[in-house]
Amino acid sequence: MFVSVVALHIPRFALSIAAGGSRDLLAGPVALAPEPGRPSLVGQPSPAAESGGVCGGMAVGEALARVPGLRLLPPDPVAVQGRWEELLRSLEGTGALVEDGGPGTACFEAGGLRRLHGGTAGVVEAARQAIGRPARFGIGPNRFCAVAAAGQARSRRPVTIEGAAGLAALPVALLAGRERTAHLPEELERLGVATLGALAGLPRVSVAERFGRDGLLAWELARGEDAPLRPRPPGESLEETLALPEAACGPQLQRALELLTGRLLARPERRGRPLRGAVLAASLEGGGSWRRPVTFREPLEDRERMVLALGRQLEELPAPAASLSLAARALGAAGSPDRELFACAAARRAERLRSALGQVRAVAGPAGVVRVLMVDPDSRLPERRAVLAPYER
Amino acid sequence: MSPIDSRLGVPRRVVVLAGSGGRPIEVAGREVVAVRESWLVEDRWWTGEPLRRRYWEVVTVAGDNLVVFRDLVAGGWFSHR
């Protein structure tokens, strides 16, 4: 059989980051505390907490009742994403085209790398060395098999699942890892369908009739069939960060957002492409962090509209921010898809001005055209009152 | 990181000769003929990096109106303009 997908799985990735990598801490009963502003549910638990009956998504009160000595660690989503991004880039450094499955899980095609690294084992070893930390590796013909294999693997021994036969004995709980099928395991178990083999053995029509399209997807996954990987384009990371001299909130934060948006739009790597989404993140005064991904209704390259869309998220910030960062999630195609047939004079002037600014910026760099942005005009310290921001029209 | 060094009014180190009470006598080699105002700024005292500055607004013999301050935590004189 032609094995082609390698999955990497780092169990409890977010928890280990929140614990600062402390093994002593992780050896005890700990779990991630709820994120500020989110429902009061615990996050990933440590093995000791799990053995006491705590699981991710459980109400805090219930978790503390089950394990009275449970310690809750404040989550740090910004650090988790930052570390995970570093690992993905290291992985891409081996030549792999990586599909990001969220912090702790990633997949890549091994086919084109086997000759480079000397077989599938060589590919796995290269990936292991690139990430530089213990991880579990699974190998399979597609994403679902590989991820299921990684869940069964030990730290230094990759596991291979070659299709439906290898999946048959595994629990249907594995379907919870997929967004569309996450709600099915509980119902399947209630109906007595405990393993993927049992699900795959059911008639397709019956599954479709009972569970609809999501059920059909689960049935196909159980039979070892999955869609091809969708790797992310490497090197497409645009991010701007602003350290705030004193913990900021309200209008100061809004100005900081305007500045970051201007900087992000002025980055030459963008090459005129609009942003389809962005991630707004902040490190909070007094520890912890906050992170909100935002998908725009349509690709944007207009600073004011972006600030309007992102500014609403800042209202949810649970504490004053010590730093604010803005990253582009995905970039659209260059050039506006719809143009007016008869542009008015003002629009033509604006277009000419935009073109002129683009030419100046091409010659002098992003700092070629700037404007003064009053960040905190009432500050007692002159250096905190104004900044230079890229001029965008 | 942005290539634009964006903050305006960043303090620059300046040579100041001070007299009794820390009052500037000479700024960058120019004699101070008048002190228009003096004030103290204390900030971030709740953090590990407190900020304490004694500001002086002075007029030099050349007619310059300058704002200088002494960093009372790390020492040294700085100018804003």
Using CB atoms, pick whichever of B7, B67, B80 lies closest to residue A387. B7
Whether residue B2 has pLDDT greater than 60: no
Asked if the Cβ–Cβ distance from B4 to A385 is below 8 Å, we say no
ipTM above 0.85, yes or no: no
Is B74's Cβ below 8 Å from some Cβ in A? no
Measured between beta carbons, which residues in chain A are less than 8 angstroms from residue B2? 240, 263, 366
For residue A11, pLDDT over 90 is answered with: no
- Residue B34: the pLDDT is 93
What's the gap in Å between the CA of B29 and the closest CA on chain A?
Answer: 24
Using a CB–CB cutoff of 8 Å, tell me whether B2 touches chain A.
Answer: yes
State which amino acid sits at residue B20. S
Q: Which of A379, A380, A392 to mutate to test the interface with B (most CBs of B within 10 A)?
A: A380
In terms of CA atoms, which chain A residue is nearest residue B7?
Answer: A387
> d(Cα A74, Cα A315) in Å, to the nearest integer?
20
Closest to B61 (Cα-Cα) out of B28, B18, B23: B28
Contact call for B4 and A241, based on CB within 8 A: no
Which tens digits make up the pLDDT trace of A255-305? 888 888 888 888 878 877 888 889 888 888 777 788 888 888 888 888 888
Strands (E), chain A: 5-9, 30-32, 71-73, 98-100, 105-109, 136-140, 159-160, 239-248, 275-284, 289-300, 321-331, 370-374, 386-390
Mean pLDDT estimate for chain A: 84
Give chain B positions within 8 Å (CB) of A370: 4, 6
Phi-psi region of B58 (alpha: psi -120 to 50; beta: other; left: phi over 0): beta
Interface test with A, best of B1, B5, B8 (most A CBs within 10 A): B8
Q: How far is it, in rounded angstroms, from Cα A176 to Cα A221? A: 12
Percent of chain A topping pLDDT 70: 94
* pLDDT greater than 90 at residue A75: no
Confidence of residue B81 (pLDDT cuts 50, 70, 90): low
* B44/A contact by beta carbon, under 8 A: yes
Q: Could you report the per-residue pLDDT of A184-208, keeping only the tens digit for each?
A: 999 999 999 999 999 999 999 999 9
Inter-chain CB proximity A386 and B11 less than 8 Å:
no
Chain B residues touching A366 at Cβ < 8 A: 2-4
Nearest to B9 among A263, A380, A385 (CB): A385
Q: Please list, in sequence order, all residues whose beta carbon lies within 8 angstroms of the beta carbon of residue A345, skipping any fewer than 6 positions away.
A: none
pLDDT (mean) for A6-21: 87
Q: Is B12 part of the contact surface with chain A (CB cutoff 8 Å)?
A: no
User: pLDDT tens digits, residue range A204-224?
Assistant: 999 999 999 999 999 999 998
Number of Cβ pairs < 8 A linking chain A and chain B = 46
Residues of B in Cβ contact (< 8 Å) with A384: 7
| Among chain A residues, CA nearest to B1 | A240
Under the banding of pLDDT at 50, 70 and 90, the label for residue A321 is: confident
Q: Map tokens 């050349």 to a residue.
A: B62
If you measure CA to CA, which chain A residue comes closest to B11?
A383
Task: Flag whether pLDDT at B54 surpasses 50.
Answer: yes
pLDDT, mean of residues B17-43: 92
Query: Which of B2, B5, B9 lies nearest to residue A382, judging by beta carbons?
Result: B9
Interface contact A389-B8, CB threshold 8 A: no
Residue A389: list chain B partners with CB under 8 A. 4, 6
pLDDT band at B1 (very low <50, low <70, confident <90, very high): very low
- What pLDDT does residue B38 have? 93
Report pLDDT for B55: 94
User: Which chain A residues are within 8 Å of B44, Cβ to Cβ?
Assistant: 246
pLDDT in tens, A343-371: 677 777 887 888 888 888 778 877 788 88
Q: Which residues of B touch A259 (CB under 8 A)?
A: 6
How would DSSP label each residue in A105-166?
EEEEE-GGGHHHHTHHHHHHHHHHHHHTS--EEEEESSHHHHHHHHHH-BTTB-EE--SHHH
pLDDT digits (tens, 9 = 90+) for A136-186: 999 999 999 999 999 888 877 888 888 888 899 999 999 988 888 988 999
Mean pLDDT to the nearest integer, A4-18: 88
Q: In this structure, how many other beta carbons lie within 10 angstroms of the beta carbon of residue A159?
A: 19
Cβ atoms of A172 and A184 closer than 8 Å: yes
Alpha-carbon span A372 to A264, nearest angstrom: 16
